[in-house]
Structure 1
Amino acid sequence: MPEYTAPDPIVDVTGAQDVAEDLVVIPDRGVQLVPNIGVIGGSHSVLVVETGLGPRNAESVVKFASEYAGGRRLYLTTTHFHPEHAFGAQAFAGEATYLVNRAQAEDLAAKGDGYLHMFRGLGAPVARQLEGVALRAPDVVYDAAHDLDLGGRVVRLRATGRAHSRGDQVVTVPDAGVMFTGDLAEAGQFAIFPWFPPHDTDVSGTRWIAVMRRLAEQAPRVVVPGHGDVGGPGLLADVRDYLELLRDETWARRDSAAGEEAIAAEIRALMIGRHPEWAGREWIERGVGCLCAEHPDDSAGE
């Protein structure tokens, strides 16, 4: 991964925004490695979605959520195990019950230490936030689906299967029409492909497309992406369409005489031409590499 050169990845809880009744989002403010964080309330409990990067960010989130809850019970969930989403869970110990899907818990156990080491190497701003991280196992693990009753409001936690990671989870609030996607969807940014062979190749472009088709069909009123501005159902369609185009252009060139590097450069130029305003251009080539490996004629992609 490239060295981190953006502002310090600090969660600013003062910018919390109401998106529905008793449901707020602490936005990322466009800062890299800061996720959008949700706080969802019911009559007797409150669910926090995402921790922020490291224990100090998470401590701010815990303080905000506790004050918001006003004595209601706290729960925590994370959309996947990556550091800015889950590596502050230790700050919630004794304050909130932490629950995730099984594949995410297994991801954290198997790859958490490796990602902690990798992210610490991104530069001083990131390393500072990761000081003192102790990876915390969840208190409750479910297999594919869990409905969490917050009191007069049920929140649906659903494992999607392998896509951006092996353990992605989508959080929906049906009565409010709100969906938290984690990094399955970003706003104003090319899809993040954590394709790091041979260390991590769990991301699947083809399965990601299938997930995004299903999510887009649900047409939620509000979509809270992993990063970027809160939007509507069009955000899901945009991600689906981009991934489909990336797949089609990659597979159309996959067997050409040009090498993968030349193919990736050509597709990068095409995608930037389509979306010149999008950030995260460095992820285009990784997406090409992933989809090359998933070509139907390549058994390694199965």
Structure 2
Amino acid sequence: MAKAFASAGDMADKKISFTEVGEGLWAFTAEGDPNSGVIIGDDSVMIVEAQATPRLANLVIEKVREVTDKPITHLALTHYHAVRVLGASAYDAREIIMSDTAQSMVAERGQEDWDSEFDRFPRLFQGHESIPGLTWPTTTFSDRMSVYLGNRRVDLMKVGRAHTAGDIVIHVPDQNVMFTGDIVEYHSACYCGDGHYTDWPQTLENIRAYDLDAIAPGRGDALVGRDKVNAALDNTADFVASTYDAVKRVAVKGGSLQEAMANVRAVCDPKFGDYAIYEHCLPFNVARAYDEARGIDTPRIWTAERDKEMWAALQG
């Protein structure tokens, strides 16, 4: 029996958790689905990550309304991927913030990413008819910026390339808590199909330098306490390095993509095979690592057609 493409066979609802990671700071998680963050200020609220559709965004809003009635005025998006940004219209935020690099990636590959992710994650895109179009920021920045929610300062910054070239993190200094997007995952595979393997480890070290008290990762449970934070940073680094090194050993010798996949399975399946979306991410991760090992710095654009061609090639 042929394997289902990506997450096409995963149609089961996920259990939602809403965890306080600091005073007025919350992580919305759902068993390995994309997380969102909530930052409550003196007079307003910032949401981190919009979710894939307005339908899913409304689940976040329901949780927010359990803890505050303050207006949602800001939406921070850590990168451009469709599953993170296309629910933005539900929040009616006055300010939508991305890095300038992420905005350029929306322009370059946003529609292609939407089309490909629609096929990869059919469950997440239920209710897609309500998406009004691509999500564009109202505000961008080059390196870092701060937003004040009353007296609460929120710092948005680039700390290095990792999951994409346009990644940002959101740091709340009064609680020393960071929302990392998909730079950091917990018991979930890293999606590296648009990533930068050789930069990613240093980016994780740049995050570690904050000596954080808590992290809300891109996927997986909230990480409260420095031991959990550092363990997640170590584990994410191990996932990225193990995948890339296994592919590189094959690619530099002129081996095939299928041979690279087999080597990654030998190395990574025993360590990470039970992680959320592991099987989903694996072929995209191998394909990107194979390109990077051969000197292709900018990830090639994934389209629905390229997805299927790659999947067919790896299935033999």
Which range, TM-score by smaller chain? 0.7 to 0.9
1:17 shift after superposition: 2.0
Write the distance in 2 (CA, Å) between the matches of 1:9 and 1:86. 20
The match for 1:23 among 25, 38, 41 is 25
Instruction: Identify which of 296, 302, 305 aligns with 1:300.
Output: 296
Taking the aligned partners of 1:248 and 1:60, their CA distance within structure 2 comes to 39
CA contact (8 A) 1:48 1:65 kept: no
Q: Distance in 2 between matches of 1:236 and 1:225?
A: 10
Change (3 A) 1:140 1:66: farther
Equivalent position amino acid for 2:242 in 1:
L
- Partner Cα separation in structure 1 for residue 12 and residue 51 of structure 2: 12
CA contact 2:179–2:216 (8 Å) conserved in 1: yes
Task: Give distance in 2, aligned partners of 1:123 and 1:281.
Answer: 14
Higher relative contact order (CA 8 A, sep 6+): 2
Q: Percent of counterpart pairs with the same letter? A: 24
Match of 1:252 in 2: 249
Structure 1 residues 240 and 7, CA gap change in structure 2 (3 angstroms) = same
Distance 1:91 1:162, change over 3 A: same
Root mean square deviation, CA, Å: 2.5
User: Could you list the runs of 5+ residues in structure 1 that have no partner in the other structure?
Assistant: 195-201
State how 1:185-204 maps to structure 2 within 5 Å: 185-194=184-193, 202-204=194-196
CA deviation profile, 1:240-275 (whole Å, cap 9, x unmatched): 122223333333333336423113212212111233
Structure-1 separation of matches of 2:255 and 2:122? 38
Number of residue pairs aligned between Structure 1 and Structure 2: 287
Matches of 2:272 and 2:15, distance apart in 1: 28
- Distance of 1:60 and 1:286 partners within structure 2: 29
CA distance in 1 between counterparts of 2:297 and 2:167 reads 19
Post-superposition CA distance 1:59-93 (Å, at most 9, x none): 34345446644345621111112122111111223
CA distance in structure 2 between the partners assigned to 1:109 and 1:65 by the alignment = 31
Match of 1:154 in 2: 153
- Secondary structure (helix, strand or coil) at the match of 2:182 reads strand
Cα distance in 2 for residues equivalent to 1:66 and 1:98: 20
CA shift for structure 1 position 239: 0.8
**Cα drift, residue 6 of structure 1:** 2.1
How much does 1:124 deviate? Answer: 4.9
Asked if residue 269 in structure 1 is aligned to residue 271 in structure 2, the reply is: no
Report the Cα distance in structure 2 between the residues aligned to 1:2 and 1:244, rounded to whole angstroms: 22
TM-score of the superposition, structure 2-length normalised?
0.80
Q: Is the 8 Å Cα contact of residues 177 and 220 (structure 1) preserved in structure 2?
A: yes
Q: Is the 8 A contact 2:19 2:26 kept in 1?
A: yes
Give the match for residue 182 of structure 1. Answer: 181
Counterpart in 1 of 2:96?
A: 98
Cα deviation, residue 58, structure 1:
1.8
Q: TM-score, normalised by structure 1?
A: 0.84
Q: Please tell me the residue identity of whatever aligns with 1:54.
A: T
Partner of 2:277: 280
Within 5 Å, which residues of 2 pair with 1:28-43?
Answer: 28=30, 30-31=31-32, 34-43=33-42
- The whole-number CA distance in structure 1 between the counterparts of 2:111 and 2:7 is 19
Cα 1:261/1:227, change in 2 over 3 Å: same
Question: Does residue 14 of structure 2 align to residue 6 of structure 1?
Answer: no
For 1:67 and 1:149, how far apart are their aligned partners in 2? 23
Structure 1 equivalent of residue 87 of structure 2: 88
Assess if the C-alpha contact under 8 Å between 2:246 and 2:260 holds in 1.
no
CA-CA distance at 1:128 after TM superposition = 2.2
**Deviations 1:209-268, CA, capped at 9 Å, x for gaps:** 221222223331211111111122220121112222333333333333642311321221
